A and B are shown apart, each in its own frame.
Chain A
Amino acid sequence: MKILYEKCPNATSGLITAFLVFSFFAAWSQNNSGTVRKFENKEDNSKCFKCHFNNNYTVTSPDSSKIITRKMYMDLQIDSNVYYHSNHRYFKCIDCHSDEYFTYPHNNDLRFEDISTCLDCHGGDPKFEKFNFEKITEDFKYNVHSEKHNSTFSCWSCHDPHTYTTHARTDKNILEVVAYDNNLCLQCHANKRNYRLIIDKDNPNLVQKHDWLPNQALHFKNVRCIECHTKKSDTLLVSHHVMEKKDAVRACVECHSRNSLLMATLYKYQSKEEISRNGFLNSIILNRSYVIGANRNYYLNMISLAILYMVISGIIIHALLRVKAYKRYHGK
């Protein structure tokens, strides 16, 4: 998979699109269970998607009436199918972008348009309180990406507002959450072209860099990059403080132990839900996954200890009785 990413950027976007489309089907089926809201903006939006859906567009020169076809840059391409399954699907393009974009060819000055940030809509709204947008924005300040790449690296770099869907905070299979979240990192870290759009060097080979990790493939499939590369946060479901490489977790026992850090990260949402549903005991064993050293079942522990004590005391009592009987038959 990694090799595929390296050699063939198209495959990356293909994979990502396939993955996104897949997740949107899941989101769609979930939304369908509630009331169905109608898309009222499709007609307006279609004017934009007419060009922005495609990988090229045509412009007619106002002077010579010459028609030329140009490439649409990837960042400006938006798949309407994906958009209409994303969290922001009910918005009109011009809710966030200037309505002057309806003029075509677009006015050059529009590139100075202020692009809204997450907080512009989500800040201070009690409806979004549980998502902790303010705290995440604060956390993100210490993120290596924002320290190193300043303003070119923003929330949008990972969470494309046109495609984003909520993942971690759903009842989805953990593996899907892991794949989705890791894909966010891999978009650049496993893609030479995207990586180079941000920094002037080649992306390090992730497989090689992690070759110290036993069962690497299994780890990559079952845990997220952020489990080891972010600073744990008590208040946030997903910490946004991505640390420097040297601070990443390397000690196996941080996860492979009773106080597994995964309980504070990957399983945080699930275990909270499960604890409230099933009580505290067993919450991990029901977690449909297995981490050596972290999965401990209270009852099994108790039963095994009971058996152990019974066997040891049985042996001791038997041995004592034997000694007693021996003395009785063979004299002192």
Chain B
Amino acid sequence: MENKIYFYPVWLRLWHWSNALLILVLIVTGLSMQYSSFESPHIPFSLAVTIHNICGIILVFGYLVFITGNIISKNGRYYKMNLKEIGGQILVQFRYYLYGVFKGDKVPFPVNIERKFNPLQKFFYVMIMYIGIPLLIISGIGLILPQFIVSRALGVSGLLLTSLLHICVGFFVSIFLMIHIYFCTFGASITSNFKGMFNGWQETH
């Protein structure tokens, strides 16, 4: 039996890898700006700003591709969560990662054509793609066009609040990225999910 499912159509792969690359550049340039110093400039400040702005703008277009793709293709259904059930399912999946996996338990939510992501994975993908990235984009646009930001909220500069939001969400996206890459090694083999994201086919357990 051929244990492979065509999960990643071309548009999704193109979006995913361009998005991954942009996010990496954004993290590096973002950190460089946040921790810029006169004594040891990592990347010249104005260059970091320019690269960060350009990558951010390209990322917005990529994001539109992702959203449109998920609306018009069937890929969107993998992101639908049943709010009543997801909590319990996440717990089951979490327990599996906490000790089940070490005891050689069977995966609680095996991948099939109806279920590309396990509940925990689904939850994080939804959080990142439908909450995190939009917040980053909105606050990022605010920082590029500061004239549209409220100048003051509760006595604090609107610019400060916007950038605080941008930096915090950016930080969580970086944390997501590490966890994401680690959990991608839980495929049929350590590398099979990565291969899948390149050739489109995911091997199932």
Residue ranges of A at the interface with B (Cβ–Cβ < 8 Å): 214-215, 217-218, 251-254, 256-259, 285, 288-290, 292-293, 295-296, 300, 304, 307-308, 311-312, 315, 318-319, 321-322, 324-325, 329
Contact = CB atoms under 8 A, between A and B. Distances in A.
B23 interface: no
Interface in B89-140: 97, 101-104
- SS of A interface (majority): helix
B87 interface: no
Contacts of A258: 35, 37
Contacts of A288: 152, 155-157, 160
B120 to A, nearest CB: 14
Contacts of A304: 171
Contacts of B168: 300
A300 B33 CA distance: 16
Contacts of B11: none
A319 B45 contact: no
Contact of A315 (B46, B159, B178): B178
Interface residues of B, number: 32
A293 B33 CA distance: 6
B175 A295 contact: no
Given A252-B46, A259-B38, 16 more contacts: A214-B49, A215-B146, A251-B45, A256-B36, A258-B37, A285-B160, A288-B155, A290-B157, A290-B160, A292-B36, A295-B163, A307-B171, A308-B175, A315-B179, A321-B102, A324-B102
Nearest to B143: A292
B41 interface: yes
Contacts of A254: 38
Contacts of A214: 46, 49
A290 B33 contact: no
Contacts of B178: 311-312, 315
Contacts of B102: 321-322, 324-325
Given A215-B146, A325-B101, A293 B35 contact: yes
Contacts of A217: 147
26 contacts: A214-B46, A217-B147, A252-B49, A253-B36, A253-B37, A253-B38, A253-B41, A257-B36, A257-B37, A259-B37, A285-B160, A288-B152, A288-B155, A290-B159, A292-B163, A293-B35, A295-B160, A296-B34, A304-B171, A307-B171, A311-B175, A312-B178, A315-B178, A319-B182, A321-B102, A325-B101
B104 A325 contact: yes
Contacts of A256: 33, 36, 45
Contacts of A324: 102
B170 to A, nearest CB: 10
Contacts of B38: 251, 253-254, 257, 259
Given A214-B46, A289-B157, A329-B104, A307 B175 contact: yes
Nearest to B104: A329
Given A218-B146, A293-B34, A321-B102, A252 B160 contact: no
Contacts of B147: 217-218
Q: Which of B36, B152, B175 has the most CB of A within 10 A?
A: B36
